[in-house]
Amino acid sequence: MVLKHVLCGGKQRARSESDKAQREQQILDAAEALFLAHRYHGLTLADVARETGLTKAALYRYFRSKELLFIAVYRRAMTAWVDDVEGLGPEGFPARFADRLLAHPVFCGLTAILHIALETGLSEQEAREFKLFLLTESQRMTAVIGAATGKDEASCLAYLLQCQQALIGCWHMSHPPEPARKAIQVEPLTVFQMDFSAALGQHLRLLTDAFIRR
């Protein structure tokens, strides 16, 4: 059950920059909780507004679209993941790389739909700003990987993108639509069942071994 986030004075505008920033974080918290409990495509801004105690019109003053709201959720989730890996230092790669990624389910789930859902509602300028954010965070990651392996930045970035591709594929294969999920619970179709964590962990081990050997 999703915990309800009630904002103090929810139907009134935030009166200061600090109030606005706090309210935005509460909105992101509510959106994140809803995403973990439901599929993205089944969520609406009305759902988020209801969770936060805001009217839909008031929510629009913070985020004009569902895509921009979840882009903001994604940005926060990615920064938390990169902070986590940076905190481990070079000695944490590759031993703890996979488990640190799997410890951030919101980042994993939103990465899986980034190109087919979240980015579809962006203007060209918004897309550029978001891609610059992705580049900055990716460069932070490649710095950690490079320090651990001695590989150049371009090689580390290529490796990181391959990991992203593996994540996207494993997520979709392990999270089929509900009718398909039910269908593969019965023999002989159980062979199509896939555990996301186990599958991604195996892919990452193979990618990492090949990357280090090169």
Domain's final residue, options 64, 79, 96: 64
State the residue range of the domain holding 162.
66-213
| Whole-number Å distance between alpha carbons of 194 and 186 | 14
CATH number at 165 reads 1.10.357.10
109-142 pLDDT tens trace: 999 999 999 999 899 999 999 999 999 999 999 9
Integer Cα distance of 200 and 171 in angstroms: 8
Same domain, 46 and 141: no
The residue out of 42, 64, 86 marking a domain boundary is: 64
Cα–Cα distance for residue pair 148/162, rounded to 1 Å: 18
The token duo for 163 is 């990991």
Q: How far apart are CA 63 and CA 99, in angstroms?
A: 32
List phi, psi (to 5°) of 51: -65, -30
pLDDT at site 89:
93
Residue 177, pLDDT score: 94
Extract the residue ranges of the chain whose pLDDT is less than 70: 1-15
Residues 148 and 98 in one domain: yes
